[in-house]
C-alpha cells in the first residue's frame, strides 16, 4: 500500500507523514505548556497576577493547538489526494497486467480466481487501506506523543499509562486476527453464497431461472448457505466479545492503578497539581488515540486480506509476462504458402487428458478447411491453436515453414479474423462493433463497411436501430439497444469480414442465424475462398461440401480427412454423421410436407 501511495504522489505521501508528526508534536508541546500554566496559577496566591503573567504562555498553548488543527487539515488534504490516486493506479496496473496475459491464463482456474478477487476486492481495498493506514499512523504518533508527555511528568506514570492502554490494545488486535482467520476460512462459503445470490438477482439468468421455476430451490440453497455463514459470524462475534471484555477489564485495573499512583505522587509532592491535570488529559487523549488505532488496525486486517490477493495476482501476472518476454520473439511471416500443423497435442491447464492429440494437417493458402466432429471432439480448441490463441504442448504449427512458437503471437493474430462460437457483444455502437475489427484504423473505411454489412446481413440490423450505426448496443445505458443472438452474430461476421485478414476462422458462425442470414454468410465465404484461407467449423454438413479439405475429429484425434464425396464414399464417421443429418432433414421435411433437401 505504501509503495503504491509513494508511486502515486511522493509529495502527498511525505506531506501526510510529516504533518501528522507535526500535529502530534505540537499537541504534546501544548499539553506540557498547559501543565506549566496550570501549576503556576494553582500554586500562587495572587491568581490574577499569575494569570496575567501566564497570558503569553497561554497564547503559545493556543497557537500550538491551532497549528495542530492546521496540520491535521493539511494531512486530511494529502489523504484526499492519495486515496483516489492509489485506487486509479492500482486498477490501471491490474487492467494493464491482465491485458498482457495470454488466453491460456484465463483457463487456469487459480490464476483467474486470483484475478477476479484482485479486481473485485483488491483495488477498493487498497484505496481504503491508504486512508486507514494514514489514520493508524496518526493515532500511533499521537499515542507516542501522549506517552512522552506522561513520561516527562514522571516515569512511573508512563508505566501506569501503559498498563491502562496495553491490555485493551492487545484485545483489539487479537479480535481482529480472529476476524481475519474467519474471513479466510469462510471464503468458499461466501463465494458460494455470492453465486446463488447472483443467480437470483442478475438479468442474464433471470429468464431461465423463472422458466424452470427454480426460484424456490435456489432460494432454499441460498438461505442454507447464508444461515451457515450467520452462525459462524455470531460465534465469532461472541468470542471476540469475550476477548474484548477481558482486555477492557485488565485496562480498567490499569486505569485504577494509574489514578491511585497519580494521587499518591501529587500527595508526595513528586508531581505538581498542574502536571496531574495534564496527566489526566494525556491519559484520556492516549486512550482515544488507542481506540482509534485499534479500530483502524481492525479494518486494516480485513483489507490486508484483499491487498495481499492483489499483490499476489500482480506478482504472478508479472512473472508470466516476463516469461513471455524472455522468449524475445520476432514477427511471424506474412502468410503466402501454407499453415502446417505437425504432431500437435494440447491440454488445458488442470485437465487430466489432452483435448487434442497428434494432429497433423496442412492448409494451403486460399483454401477452405472444414473441421467436423461431435461436441467436445476438439474443433474449437484446434481453431484457437490455429488462431495463435493457444500454444501446442507438443508439436509445432508453422506458417510458411516458420514455427509460430518462435514468433510474436500478436503478429500472428493480426493476420487472423476470428468468429468465435460465442462472440462478444461489445458495448459499443453498432458501427464500432464492426470497425473494431481494424482497431488500428483512425477513420473507418466507409465503402468496405457498407460492403461487409451487406455481405453479413448486418445492414438490415443497423437499419432497424433508432440511431442507425451510431446506436449504442448496451441496454445498461439510456438510449442503448439490445440485439437478438442472431443479430449479434451478423455483426460478429461483419467484424471478421471487415478485418480483411488473410486467414478467417469461423467457429459455427451460422448456428444462431436465420436461413436468409445463413445463406448470405455462406455466399460471402464462397466468395472469399481462393483469396483467403478459411477455417470453418460447422455442424451443417451440407455447407462443408464446398470445402477443399474436411477434417473429422473424434476425442481430440483426426479420424478422417478428405473432400465431401470421398468421405461419404468411405462410409466412415463422416458418412454416418451425414446420413444422420440427412435423415433428420428428411423427417422434418416430410412433417412439413416438403421434399427432403439438405
Binding residues for ligand ADP, per CB under 6 A? 107, 348, 351, 355, 373, 375-381
Question: CB of residue 381 vs ligand ADP: minimum separation in angstroms?
Answer: 3
Question: CB of residue 551 vs ligand ADP: minimum separation in angstroms?
Answer: 11
Question: CB of residue 391 vs ligand ADP: minimum separation in angstroms?
Answer: 14
Question: CB of residue 106 vs ligand ADP: minimum separation in angstroms?
Answer: 8
Question: CB of residue 348 vs ligand ADP: minimum separation in angstroms?
Answer: 3
* Alpha carbons 78 and 82: distance in angstroms, whole number: 6
Cα–Cα distances (Å) from 490 to 62, 487, 511, 520, in that order, read: 75, 5, 11, 10
**Which residue, 402 or 537, has its beta carbon nearer to ligand ADP?**
537
* Alpha carbons 447 and 453: distance in angstroms, whole number: 10
State residue 277 phi and psi, 5-degree precision. -65, -45
**Which residue, 380 or 429, has its beta carbon nearer to ligand ADP?**
380
Give the SS3 label for residue 421.
coil
Question: CB of residue 402 vs ligand ADP: minimum separation in angstroms?
Answer: 25
**Which residue, 274 or 373, has its beta carbon nearer to ligand ADP?**
373
Question: CB of residue 576 vs ligand ADP: minimum separation in angstroms?
Answer: 17
DSSP codes of every residue in 39-80: HHHHH-S-HHHHHHHHHHHHHHHHHHHHHHHHHHHHHHHHHH
* Alpha carbons 154 and 211: distance in angstroms, whole number: 77
- Which residues, in sequence order, are CB contacts of 137 under 8 Å at separation 6+? 16, 17, 20
**Which residue, 104 or 273, has its beta carbon nearer to ligand ADP?**
104
Q: How many degrees, rounded to 5, is the angle at CA 184 between CA 183 and CA 187?
A: 80
Q: Cell digits for 132?
A: 486507514
Q: Cell digits for 353?
A: 487428458
* Alpha carbons 102 and 555: distance in angstroms, whole number: 25
Question: CB of residue 145 vs ligand ADP: minimum separation in angstroms?
Answer: 58
* Alpha carbons 430 and 338: distance in angstroms, whole number: 35
**Which residue, 455 or 560, has its beta carbon nearer to ligand ADP?**
560
**Which residue, 81 or 557, has its beta carbon nearer to ligand ADP?**
557
**Which residue, 143 or 355, has its beta carbon nearer to ligand ADP?**
355
**Which residue, 350 or 401, has its beta carbon nearer to ligand ADP?**
350
**Which residue, 498 or 578, has its beta carbon nearer to ligand ADP?**
578
Question: CB of residue 513 vs ligand ADP: minimum separation in angstroms?
Answer: 18
* Alpha carbons 347 and 351: distance in angstroms, whole number: 7
Question: CB of residue 536 vs ligand ADP: minimum separation in angstroms?
Answer: 13
Question: CB of residue 424 vs ligand ADP: minimum separation in angstroms?
Answer: 16
Cβ neighbour number for residue 360 with a 10 Å cutoff: 12
State residue 384 phi and psi, 5-degree precision. -70, -35
Q: What is the SS3 string spanning 534-593?
A: EEEECCCHHHHCCCCEEEEEECCEEEEEECHHHHHHCCCHHHHHHHHHHHHHHHHHHHHC
**Which residue, 160 or 547, has its beta carbon nearer to ligand ADP?**
547
Give the SS3 label for residue 511.
coil
Question: CB of residue 180 vs ligand ADP: minimum separation in angstroms?
Answer: 33
**Which residue, 6 or 348, has its beta carbon nearer to ligand ADP?**
348
Q: How many degrees, rounded to 5, is the angle at CA 274 between CA 272 and CA 277?
A: 115
Radius of gyration over alpha carbons of the chain, in Å? 36
Q: Which residue has the cell 492509489?
A: 86
* Alpha carbons 472 and 466: distance in angstroms, whole number: 10
**Which residue, 294 or 541, has its beta carbon nearer to ligand ADP?**
541
Q: Which residue has the cell 440511431?
A: 467
Q: Which residue has the cell 467457429?
A: 507
Amino acid at each position: 500500500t505504501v509503495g503504491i501511495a509513494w508511486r502515486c504522489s511522493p509529495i502527498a505521501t511525505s506531506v501526510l507523514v510529516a504533518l501528522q508528526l507535526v500535529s502530534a508534536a505540537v499537541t504534546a508541546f501544548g499539553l506540557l505548556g498547559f501543565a506549566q500554566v496550570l501549576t503556576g496559577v494553582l500554586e500562587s496566591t495572587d491568581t490574577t497576577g499569575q494569570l496575567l503573567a501566564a497570558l503569553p504562555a497561554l497564547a503559545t498553548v493556543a497557537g500550538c493547538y491551532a497549528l495542530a488543527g492546521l496540520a491535521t487539515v493539511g494531512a486530511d488534504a494529502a489523504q484526499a489526494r492519495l486515496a483516489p490516486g492509489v485506487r486509479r493506479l492500482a486498477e490501471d496496473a491490474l487492467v494493464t497486467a491482465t491485458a498482457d496475459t495470454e488466453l491460456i491464463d484465463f483457463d487456469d482456474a487459480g490464476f483467474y480466481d486470483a484475478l477476479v478477487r484482485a479486481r473485485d476486492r483488491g483495488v477498493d481495498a487498497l484505496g481504503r487501506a491508504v486512508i486507514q493506514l494514514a489514520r493508524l499512523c496518526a493515532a500511533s504518533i499521537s499515542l507516542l506523543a501522549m506517552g512522552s508527555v506522561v513520561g516527562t511528568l514522571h516515569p512511573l506514570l508512563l508505566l501506569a499509562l501503559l498498563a491502562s492502554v496495553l491490555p485493551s490494545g492487545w484485545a483489539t488486535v487479537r479480535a481482529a486476527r480472529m476476524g481475519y482467520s474467519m474471513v479466510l476460512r469462510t471464503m468458499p462459503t461466501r463465494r458460494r453464497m455470492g453465486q446463488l445470490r447472483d443467480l437470483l438477482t442478475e438479468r442474464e439468468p433471470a429468464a431461465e431461472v423463472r422458466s424452470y421455476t427454480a426460484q424456490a430451490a435456489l432460494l432454499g440453497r441460498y438461505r442454507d448457505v447464508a444461515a451457515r455463514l450467520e452462525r459462524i459470524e455470531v460465534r465469532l462475534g461472541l468470542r471476540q466479545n469475550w476477548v474484548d471484555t477481558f482486555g477492557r477489564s485488565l485496562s480498567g485495573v490499569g486505569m485504577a492503578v494509574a489514578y491511585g499512583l497519580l494521587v499518591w505522587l501529587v500527595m508526595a509532592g513528586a508531581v505538581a497539581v498542574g502536571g496531574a491535570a495534564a496527566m489526566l488529559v494525556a491519559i484520556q487523549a492516549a486512550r482515544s488515540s488507542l481506540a482509534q488505532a485499534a479500530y483502524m488496525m481492525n479494518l486494516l486486517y480485513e483489507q490486508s486480506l484483499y491487498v495481499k490477493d492483489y499483490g499476489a495476482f500482480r506478482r504472478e501476472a508479472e512473472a508470466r509476462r516476463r516469461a513471455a518476454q524472455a522468449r524475445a520473439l520476432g514477427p511471424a511471416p506474412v502468410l503466402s504458402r501454407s499453415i502446417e500443423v505437425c504432431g500437435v497435442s494440447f491440454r488445458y491447464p488442470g485437465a487430466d487428458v489432452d483435448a487434442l492429440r497428434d494432429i497433423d494437417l496442412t492448409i494451403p493458402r486460399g483454401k477452405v478447411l472444414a473441421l467436423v466432429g461431435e461436441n467436445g471432439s476438439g474443433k474449437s480448441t484446434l481453431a484457437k491453436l490455429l488462431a495463435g490463441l493457444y500454444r501446442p504442448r507438443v508439436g509445432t504449427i508453422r506458417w510458411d515453414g516458420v514455427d509460430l512458437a518462435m514468433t510474436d503471437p500478436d503478429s500472428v493474430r493480426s493476420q487472423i479474423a476470428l468468429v468465435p462460437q460465442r462472440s462478444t457483444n461489445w458495448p459499443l455502437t453498432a458501427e464500432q462493433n464492426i470497425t473494431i475489427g481494424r482497431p488500428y484504423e483512425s477513420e473507418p473505411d466507409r465503402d468496405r463497411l457498407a460492403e461487409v454489412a451487406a455481405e453479413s446481413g448486418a445492414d438490415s440490423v443497423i437499419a432497424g436501430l433508432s440511431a442507425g450505426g451510431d446506436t449504442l448496443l448496451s441496454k445498461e445505458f439510456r438510449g442503448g439497444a439490445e440485439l437478438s443472438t442472431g443479430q449479434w452474430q451478423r455483426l460478429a461476421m461483419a467484424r471478421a469480414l471487415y478485418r480483411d485478414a488473410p486467414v478467417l476462422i469461423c467457429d459455427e458462425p451460422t448456428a444462431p442465424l436465420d436461413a436468409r442470414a445463413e445463406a448470405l454468410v455462406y455466399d460471402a465465404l464462397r466468395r472469399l475462398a481462393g483469396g483467403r484461407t478459411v477455417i470453418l467449423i460447422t455442424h451443417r454438413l451440407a455447407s462443408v461440401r464446398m470445402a477443399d479439405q474436411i477434417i473429422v475429429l473424434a476425442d481430440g484425434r483426426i479420424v478422417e480427412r478428405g473432400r465431401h464425396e470421398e468421405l461419404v464414399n468411405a462410409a466412415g464417421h463422416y458418412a454416418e454423421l451425414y446420413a444422420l443429418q440427412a435423415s433428420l432433414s428428411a423427417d422434418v421435411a416430410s412433417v412439413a410436407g416438403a421434399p427432403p433437401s439438405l
